[in-house]
Homo-oligomer: A and B are copies of this chain.
Amino acid sequence: MKQDSNIPYKIYLEESEMPKSWYNLRADMPVKPAPLLNPETFEPMTAEELGTVFCDELVKQELDNETAYYPIPQEIRDFYKMYRPSPLVRAYCLEEKLNTPAKIYYKFEGNNTSGSHKLNSAIAQAYYAKNQGLKGVTTETGAGQWGTALSMACAYLGLDCQVYMVKVSYEQKPFRREVMKTYGASVTPSPSETTNVGRKILEEHPGTTGSLGCAISEAVEAATSQEGYRYVLGSVLNQVMLHQSIIGLETKAALDKYNITPDIIIGCAGGGSNLGGLIAPFMGEKLRKEKDYQFIAVEPASCPSLTRGKYAYDFCDTGKVTPLAKMYTLGHGFIPSANHAGGLRYHGMSSVLSELYDEGLMEARSVEQTAVFEAAKMFAQVEGILPAPESSHAIRVAIDEALKCKETGEEKTIVFGLTGTGYFDMVAYGKFNDGEMSDYIPTDEDLQPGFDSLPEIPNQ
């Protein structure tokens, strides 16, 4: 096995080298992301309005487009020490397998029980809730990654955690449900009889197995109807991207330590939290014209919000209880095909990333799922880590770019985000192993019902 004498397989920062502040990319954006709008007045949401749903400090972070660095509170830094710094791994074995002159690195966020990067924001959001003297938080979860992360953070801080879990996952993926319960969370299958919006949905669609959009609506209602509770969300929001900047800051510190400058930075994109966090400090340099990088967002061909969506104001949920966000969206009425196996099934995309993409500062690619699982299997076999289907979207494009380098002979340095592990995704892997997985690319007609659900905004 070849190994550059001065570059270890895995770069771990020392505790003393870990970032002490989060970085707020919005501070360096010449054009700020569009503000959240009140869906009734179409006026920008005020801190007061947002404060009924979110914790005060998180509202501040959500609205703050100016402060570049937020010191990370000591208690959050202590929690980070339990599973961070995460390793930046040189993919020597993958490079050898591909016989490419490219140098490939991945930032691996899966070495924790939640199995993903979601914990970085979960602990921050739980901390601010606790700090405000709240009793607990509510949230939704699909397959359970975010719910698991939040339940871990709440257990650590002694905060109540109420999770609305999409019913089909609650029933068919009981393992993550049990992880959440082991961490003391209460987990309710959604739609449920515990909320007005849940009861309404059940009445209109008896026997429905639920959706992420429904679960968001229920969790928001649960937060606003209980004394001492607030709602928290694992992606899409500006505050989440702020917390996730820890990924990019650690990555940059590790690269700088060894004088490595990446050419291409790649991340999978669902709501955008991982990608946004990974690229933040690098994009900051690009915006400040200090350095240039190529950024690639990778999304599923079956849920192509960046590559085929519209840049428009839309609701963040199906039940239309949230504010309006300007984003690349397939419409809040969009429902991914049952054929689609993994996560990354959200109809919209972070406003920050949407703005950057719209300005041409970042590229986007869509990939089909059998090609994604092929990349996942190859990666698992040579690098030893069984990747999450979501993360494997980034692996796919990293491999594609490395193979291009093989053609051209270029020794590009490629960095991608390996957001998590696939241990709870073995049903999808099993389908792939048995040759039962197929691809699906929606036609323009398939996408139309989602676009038809877009709200009409005066003067947009």
Contacts and interface: CB of A to CB of B under 8 A. Distances in A.
B383 A82 contact: yes
A160 to B, nearest CB: 14
B113 A380 contact: yes
A202 B93 CA distance: 43
Contacts of A81: 8-10
Nearest to A15: B8
A384 B426 contact: no
A3 to B, nearest CB: 8
A423 B424 contact: yes
Please give the count of copies of this chain that the complex contains.
2
Given A93-B82, A174-B426, A182-B433, A113 B152 contact: no
A182 to B, nearest CB: 5
A112 interface: yes
Nearest to A115: B423
A181 interface: yes
A81 B10 CA distance: 8
A211 interface: no
A79 B183 CA distance: 34
Interface in A140-156: 152, 155-156
Interface string A423-434: 110110110010
B174 A430 contact: yes
Interface in A93-134: 93, 111-113, 115
A178 B421 contact: no
Interface string A3-19: 10000111010110000
Given A82-B383, A380-B183, A386-B113, A178 B12 contact: no
Contact of A381 (B79, B184, B423): B184
A131 to B, nearest CB: 15
A75 interface: yes
A338 interface: no
Contact of A178 (B8, B78, B82, B430): B430
Contacts of A433: 178, 181-182
Contacts of A382: 155-156
Interface in A352-380: 377, 380
Given A15-B9, A81-B10, A423-B424, A381 B179 contact: no
A429 B9 contact: no
Given A113-B385, A155-B381, A181-B433, A426 B175 contact: yes
B82 A384 contact: yes
A386 B180 CA distance: 11
A174 B426 CA distance: 8
Contacts of A155: 380-382
A12 B12 contact: yes
Interface of A: 1, 3, 8-10, 12, 14-15, 74-75, 78-79, 81-83, 93, 111-113, 115, 152, 155-156, 174-176, 178-179, 181-184, 377, 380-386, 421, 423-424, 426-427, 429-430, 433
